[in-house]
Structures are given as structure tokens and as C-alpha cells.
Amino acid sequence: MAFSTCNRAFFKVWRHHFALRARGFGTTAKAAKNTAMPPSSLSSFVKIVEVGPRDGLQNEKQIIPTDVKVALINRLADAGLSVVEATSFVSPIWVPQLADARQVMADIARKPGVSYPVLTPNIKGLEAAIKAGAHEIAIFGAASESFSKKNINCSIAESIERFAAVAEMAKANGLRIRGYVSCVAGCPYEGKIDPQAVARVAKDLTDLGCYEISLGDTIGVGRPYEIQAMIDAVAKVVPANQLAIHCHDTYGQALANIYAAIALGVRTVDSSVAGLGGCPYAKGATGNVATEDVVYMLEGNGFTTNVDLQKLVYVGQWISDKLDRPTGSRVARALLAKQNV
């Protein structure tokens, strides 16, 4: 397989790290952290967008009590997450788990400095979100025609047209808008996706007024060189600092893919506490990458997230207990084992 230009960026930080170690650096915790720091031209801060309360819980079959959802959101904010995607204003017929969206928004603490975006698939959802006091919404498109038609019953072009009206109303009401692009690395119906198709949808959503575009590997099939090729294409039409990476860990590639995105200047990562969530379109999918694992990796490589990992681990254990399942975070399992929890 050819070693492309985008591959070189992925290994730049690693070459720098090992070159310094060869000269005698990296022998202490402080030095090791410094060698992994990003180039000075790039920010060392990485924003984490916590999607557990929405993307993580939406496919749960057993209805979770509203007070548990509210407590989860509040605990995540208290752990230092500055963006917690709270819920979705979608028809309860399609997503019964989130039928309590209005009550969730009414009951959360709304900590100063924390954003609580909500997903709004249409005008009706947006109107409900506005009444519930939302200050930020998310809209979503797909890079796959087949996925778009099966997921939201329209073509990609039609979805952009629909969201244009949603975006206009949101902006008129002073709401910030975040955009999602699904299937950026692969589609369960079409297979591999052309990076240019991803770039076109990302540009369309940006033109509608989205301040940030989250690039989602919906079925978790991407690998670092594929993720970098995709981001390389998208960054030609949407700056890397306006992009986010959203990885599912179906094939165990999520952390490597995130680091590949970071190497190209992406500074926002979507993740889900305890690895909550799964993709119904990929058999055996293990869900979103765990926020605990992302924070551990980034902080250990010299980046800053402002997230209290210990508090986050406890939040993940708490919600896992509520769902009667083990946490999906490898880092949490390791740290809890050390503490005999």
C-alpha cells in the first residue's frame, strides 16, 4: 500500500517523540509529556464533546428513568466536560428512549460554561427544542446516498434542503448549529465512501451556518490512513479547526483514528462515557469510543482536555451499574481494578 502524504502527518508526532527519546529525553514523567506535545503552531487543547446521554443511550431497549438521564448529564458536566449532548427532539415513535427530551432539558442543572446541544432532525423538533430552552442544536447528513435514504428517507441533496429551513430558524432564534456527517469512512450498504463525498456534505452543512462539523465513522470501519485521507479532503473546504472526529470502535481502531485526526489539526473529539452506544447497522458494533480512553490517551500525550479523569471514571461506573452492564472503557476497568472498586 502506498505511503501517502497524509500518512506522513500521522507519524510526525511519533517521529518527534522517539527522536527526543534517542537523545536521552523522555526518561521522566515530565519529559515524556513534553516530547509528545503537538507542534507549537497547533493548540494543545482538545475539546471533548460528550455524546453519551444522547447517542449513547438512544438505542437502549429498556427505558431509562428521566432522573437518571438528568443525573448523568449533571455528573458529566461536574467532571469537566464543557459540551454534553443532552438529548434529541425526535419523534418518540422512532426513538422512544428520548421521548422525555423536554423534561430532561427542564431538569438539568445547566452549569455555567457548559453547552448542552440537542439533535433536531426537522422544524418540529427545532420548535420543541426552542421551547425547552436549548441554546445549541445539531443537524445531520450522510456521505452515503443509501444510508441517507434508509436513515432519514431522502437523498443527500434533499436532506440539505430540509436542513436549510431548520438552520434559518435556528439562526433567527440565536441558536448555534453543529453539523454531523455520517458514514465518512464506510457505509453498511455501499462499502467504502469517497472522501470527496464527505467533503461535499461537510461544505454544504458549513454553508448552512454550522460552526463545527463532526465527521462520524458510523460503523467503525475506518483505519488511520483512511481517516487522514478523508480529513485531508474535507480540510480543503472546511478548516481543520472547525472539524470534529466521531469514532465508533467496532474494529478497535477508534483511538488510532482519533490520533490520526489530531495529527492533522483536528481539535475536537466526540466520545461517550463508558463507551455507551452502538450502531444498529453494524453487527457486533461495540459503540462509541469511551470518553475515559480518549482523555487518558490525549492527556498522556501532552494534550489538555480539562476533564477530571478520576471523576469521569466514577461517572462511567455509575451509569454502567444503572444499565446493569460492565463499563466499555478499558481505562476505567484498569483504574477501577487498581482501586479494587
Can you tell me the mean pLDDT for 213-230?
97
Measured in whole angstroms, the distance separating CA 20 from the mean position of its chain's CA atoms is 32
Q: Is the pLDDT of residue 276 over 60?
A: yes
The pLDDT of residue 13 is 46
- Write the CB contacts of 299 (distance below 8 Å, at least 6 apart in sequence): 305, 309
Cell numbers at residue 217, please? 465513522
Residue 272's pLDDT band (cuts 50, 70, 90): very high
> Is 86 in a helix, a strand, or coil?
coil
Residue identified by cell 472522501 is: 195
Q: With contact defined as beta carbons under 8 Å apart, do 54 and 98 qualify? A: yes
Mean pLDDT in residue range 138-152: 91
Please name every residue paired with 31 in a beta bridge, in sequence order, or none if there are none: none
Q: What is the pLDDT, as a whole number, of residue 22?
A: 34
All domains of the chain, ordered by start, with CATH? 45-338 (3.20.20.70)
Catalytic annotation present for 247? no
Closest CA to 100 of 140, 138, 60, 155: 60
Residue 296 has pLDDT above 70, yes or no: yes
> What pLDDT was estimated at residue 4?
46
Whole-angstrom CA distances from 79 to 75, 168, 276, 292, 323 are 6, 34, 17, 11, 20
> At residue 312, what is the residue type?
L
CB 312 within 8 A of CB 292: yes
Task: Round to whole Å and give the CA distance between 217 and 267.
Answer: 17
Cα separation values, 54 from 13, 51, 272, Å: 33, 6, 9
Longest distance between any two alpha carbons in the chain, whole Å: 61
pLDDT tens across 88-113, in order?
Answer: 999 999 999 999 999 999 999 999 99
Counting runs of H as helices and runs of E as strands, what totals does the chain give?
13, 11
Output the CA torsion 235→156→180→120 (10° steps).
150
Question: Could you tell me the pLDDT band of residue 286, with boundaries at 50, 70 and 90?
Answer: low
Interval 276-289 mean pLDDT: 70
Length of the chain: 341
Residue-wise pLDDT for 304-314, tens only, equals 999 999 999 99
The per-residue pLDDT for range 195-206, each reduced to its tens digit, is 999 999 999 999
| Catalytic residue chosen out of the listed positions 187, 210, 247, 279 | 279
pLDDT (tens digit per residue) in 14-73:
444 333 333 333 333 333 343 345 555 578 999 999 999 999 999 898 999 999 999 999
Question: pLDDT tens across 152-182, in order?
Answer: 889 999 999 999 999 999 999 999 999 999 9
The pLDDT of residue 246 is: 98
Kindly report the backbone phi and psi dihedral angles of residue 287, in degrees, each rounded to the nearest multiple of 5, phi listed first: 95, -170
Q: What is the pLDDT of residue 273?
A: 98
Q: What is the mean pLDDT of the chain?
A: 89
Q: 139 versus 279: which is more confidently predicted?
A: 139
240-260: per-residue pLDDT in tens? 999 999 999 999 999 999 999
